Amino acid sequence: MKKTREELLALLADMSIEEKAGQLAQIPIVACMDGVSEPTGPMEELSLTPEQVVLSGSVISVLRLEAEACAKVVRQLTEAHPHHIPPLVMKDVIHGHQTMFPIPLAIGATFDEKIAETLGECGAKEGAASGVHVTFAPMVDVVRDPRWGRVMESPGESPVLCAAMGAAMVRGTRGEDISAPDRIAACAKHFVGYGISQAGQDYAPIDVSHTELYNTYLPPFQACVDAGVDMVMPAFVGVDRVPCVCNEWLLKDILRGRMGFEGMIISDWDDPRQLIAHGVAEDQREVAQLCLNAGLDMDMMSFAYLTELADLVREGKMDEAKLDAACLHVLELKNNLGLFDNPVKNDSDDVQRAVCNDPEIHKAVYEAALKSCVLLKNEGALPLRQGCKVALVGSHADEHAILGGWTLDAYTERTKTLLTSFSEDSRITLTTPEEADVILLATGEKQADTGEDCSKAHPFLTAEQMDELRRLHALGKPVVLLLFCGRPLIITEALPYCSAVLNVWFPGTEGADAIRALVMGDENPSGHLSMTFPRALGQVPIHHDRLSSPRPWKEGAIYVNRYKDESNFPLYPFGYGLSYTTFQVDAAAESTTITARVTNTGSVVGETVVQVYGRIRHCSHIRPDKRLLAWQRIALQPGECREVTFPITPDMLRMYDAQGKAIEPKGVCDIAVGESSDVPYTLEVTF
Ligand code: NOJ
C-alpha cells in the first residue's frame, strides 16, 4: 500500500534536518559498493562520510548494473537509514538498456509514436529488471546543429515531433503506474535550450529569446509534463544569463507555475557546483542556497546539499520550509514508485537475463531499426539482385559497435555485425570489391563519436573514408553507402560516388539483420529525416521551420536572403525519405480538415509518412515559413489507395509572444501536404 499524503507529511515531520537534506542528494552507487567509478563528468574526489552515504536520497549508476548487486545496496541503505527510507536508483536508460533500440534521432525518423512508446516500455522493463527506478530520459531538446554530438539523443529538429515522441516515451516508460514491477519513472531533460549550444559545442553558452522559448523549446517539455513525466532536469546552460539550475523564474514561474509540473526537479551531473566555475556562486554554501531557493529539489553529484543545507537551516540562513518542500517531492516520487513497500523491483540476475532475452523486445527493436533507416539516394542499386556477388567493406562492415552513444549496459560485443548477417544470406555471394557486382560500403561515425562531449567542427566523412569511397567507385561498379551516424553528416562531396545511400544512423542491437532485410528488399525503407541534412557546413543551423525573411530568396535575385557561394537549400530536407516504391499524394481541404489520398504507384508494398506543414499567412509576429503540424505513417499495397484525414486545429498554428501570451491563428493559413518538408503550399484553411 502506498502512503497517503498525511502519512508522508507525518514522516517528513519526524525527520531530522540532516535526514531531509540527505534526501536531496544523489551520490554514485559505487560509493556504496566495492570498486571504482567511471563518471560521466568531472568528479572531484569523493569524501563522503558513512553517515552521508546512508542519508543520501538517491544513487546514480554509470556502470553496468547487475540486479543482485544493486538490490544489495538498496536493501543495506534502507536498513541503515533512521527512517528506513529507500534510495532512488537512477540511470541513463536512453534508447533501451541492454537490448538497444536505434538512437533517439533515428526513432524520430520513424515518425511513429508507437515505436517511441515501445522503446520506453522495453527500456523500463530491462531497466527495472536490473534495479533502476528512474531513467534520465526522454531527452527532448530541439536540435538544429549537427556539430553538437548530443543531437543523437533527441527526436530531432521539430518541436512538434519532439513533443510527440517525448510524450510517447514518457507513456511507455512509466505506464499508468510506476510502482508496477516492469515500469520506471521518467525524467524530461535538459530544461531548457541546451540544444542551442553555440557553435554546436557541448557546455557552450546559449542565448534564447523568450519568444523562442515559448514557441520552440518549451512545448516538448509541456508535452512530457502533460504525459505525466515524474522528473525534470535543468540544462547545463543558462537562460537570461542565469544558469537553469538556479533560475527561479524558469523553475518556479515557468516549469511549476505556467507548465503545471508537480514532480521532482533534479540537477544535471555536478551542475550546482559548476556555479562556482561560472563565478555565479563563491562556494558550495552559496551553491546550495541559490539552487534550493530557485526550486531545485535534488543535487546530482555535487554534494552541496549534502554538506551545506543542514547548517544553513540551523543558522537561519535557509528557510526550513524550502527544505521540506523539496524533500516532499523526493518522498512523493519514492511513494509513487511503491518503494516504501518494496524498495527493489528485482533482485535476481537470472530474471534480469531472462528479461533481456525476451524475443518480444528483440522484435520491437528490429521493427524500429527497419522503420528508422532513411533511403537518401537510389539510382537502382537497391534492393540487391538475388544471386549477385557482393563486396561488403568499410569500417562498419565487421563492427559490433553499431549501437550509438549511451549504451552503458548494452552487450556491444554480442551485437551481430553486418558481415555476419550478410554471410548468413544464401541469396548472395560475398566476395572482394574487384570480383563483386555491387559494393556495399558500410562507413561513417564511430559509436563513441556521438553523444555527450562529442561536438565536431567537421561533421563529414573523414579523408580516409572519402579516399576509400573514391577508390571503390573507380572500380566502375555501383557503390552503395550504408551511412552510420549519430547526426546529419554533410555528405555532399561523397554523393556523386554513390549509386545509393541508406542512412542507417546507429541502428541498435538488431541493426545488422534489419539493414540486410532492407538491402535485400525483404523490407522497404520508410524512415524520413528527423533533422535536415545540410549541403554545406556554412548553412548550419538549417532547419525546415526557420523564421521567415523580409527578403526571401528568389531564383536569380540579388539583395535577397541567400549565399553568394552556396545554395539556400539543404542536401536533404527534413521529412525526406525514399522507398523502393513511389507514392502519389493528392490533398484537398474542406473547411479546416485536410484529406490526403495516398496511392502506392509502384510495384512493391511500402510505407510512407504523409506530412502536413502550415503557416499563418498574416500575423503581428514573424513566424516560420513552414512548420510541421501533423503526420501519419501509412502502409499500402501496390496500386492501393487510401485516404487519411488531418483536422487542422488552432493549437497547431498558435504562437506565443515574448510574454508567453497566445496569439491565436486568424484568417487564412497555408497548408502543404507531402512526403517531406520540401513541398509547396497548395491548400488553405481559414480560422
Ligand atoms: C550528464 C548528462 O548531461 C545528462 O544527460 C545525464 O543524464 C547525466 N550526465 C547523468 O549521466
Q: What's the distance, Cα to Cα, between the start and end of the chain in Å?
A: 50
Residues with CB under 6 A from ligand 1: 40-41, 62, 92, 136, 189, 268-269, 452
Contacts of 39 (CB under 8 A, 6+ apart): 28, 62, 269, 301
* Distance, CA of 445 to CA of 258 (rounded, Å): 41
Instruction: Please give the distance, rounded to the nearest whole angstrom, from the Cα atom of residue 231 to the centre of ligand 1.
Output: 13
- Residue that the C-alpha cell 517528513 belongs to: 12
Across the range 422-430, mean pLDDT stands at 98
* 447 contacts 404 by C-beta, under 8 angstroms: yes
State residue 42's pLDDT score: 44
Q: What is the mean pLDDT of residues 569-582?
A: 98
Q: Predicted confidence band at 34 (pLDDT cuts at 50, 70, 90)?
A: low
Q: Is the pLDDT of residue 38 over 50?
A: no
335 neighbors 8 (Cβ within 8 angstroms): yes
Confidence of residue 47 (pLDDT cuts 50, 70, 90): confident
Does the pLDDT value for residue 43 go beyond 60? Answer: no
The C-alpha atoms of residue 646 and residue 564 are separated, in whole angstroms, by 40
Q: Which of 233, 406, 408 to mutate to test the pocket of ligand 1 (most atoms within 8 A of CB)?
A: 233
Q: What's the whole-number mean pLDDT along residues 273-297?
A: 98
All domains of the chain, ordered by start, with CATH? 5-352 (3.20.20.300), 363-539 (3.40.50.1700), 583-686 (2.60.40.10)
Cβ within 8 Å of residue 425, ≥6 positions away? 516, 520
Q: Residue whose CA is closest, atom 10 of ligand 1? A: 269
Centre of ligand 1 from the C-alpha of residue 416, in Å: 28
State the pLDDT at residue 400: 98
Distance 376 CA to ligand 1 centre (A): 32
pLDDT 10s digits, 601-637: 999 999 999 999 999 999 999 999 999 999 999 999 9
Q: What residue spans of 217-303 are helical by DSSP H?
A: 219-226, 248, 274-278, 284-294
Instruction: Quote the ligand 1 centre to 274 CA distance (angstroms).
Output: 14
pLDDT in tens, 534-549: 999 999 999 999 999 9
226 C-alpha to ligand 1 centroid (Å): 23
Predicted local distance difference test score (pLDDT) of residue 37: 40
**Mean pLDDT across the stretch 544-564?**
97
Is residue 583 within 8 Å of 633, Cβ to Cβ?
Answer: no
pTM over 0.85: yes
Is the pLDDT at 44 greater than 50? The verdict is no
